[in-house]
Amino acid sequence: MLIEQTLEQRTGMQLHGMVGALRQWQAHPPGQPLAPADLVGLLADAEWIHRENRKLTARLKAAKLKLPACVEDINYRHPRGLTKAALLDLSTSRWVAAHQTVILTGPTGLGKSYLACALAHKACRDGYTVAYRRVSRLFDELAPGPRRRHLPHRPPPPRQGPGPRPRRLRARTARRRRA
């Protein structure tokens, strides 16, 4: 059939959201016929939603959040010393857009990790990339010296003292003498 070829082509083009919406539309056609423009709009919306959901899933996976927390699930009656207005303001993610930092402090068992994960989850939903770290792990990653081995993106420390010349330079010097 022509529709199966169309679905195979769209799958080849990696338009999986559009293919899924078209299959669903075929399985359960609406009571009223759709205009072609409406069907194209429906399929384009389905593809956009599918791609946004994939991006969100990738951001959440990369964030490695400790807890599955959402801002909407925060219990404001818990005695944390934060007002509901302050948490709602933080949940807008304006602080991320302004390149500001939020530091949560307090005694053990207060729910700092939960709040951090909830704010990070909201930032991911708003399209920001998140890296969740406990303070001890963050300090280990930022510390100078041998503990920094697992950060390959930083250049090695400069050499101390005169030391031997690199081999590359010696090889070039030897070639010049022979000629």
Per-residue pLDDT of the chain (179 residues; tens, 9 = 90+): 567 777 777 777 777 787 788 788 777 777 777 777 877 788 888 888 888 888 999 999 988 888 888 888 888 887 777 888 888 898 898 988 898 888 888 888 888 888 889 999 999 999 998 888 888 888 888 887 665 555 555 555 565 656 555 555 444 444 455 54
- Residue 96: name the closest of 134, 64, 129, 74 by CA: 129
Per-residue pLDDT at 170? 46
Per-residue pLDDT at 173? 47
Backbone angles phi and psi of 36, in degrees to 5: -55, -40
d(CA 146, CA 159): 15
Provide the token pair at 97. 């857009």
- The pTM score is 0.63
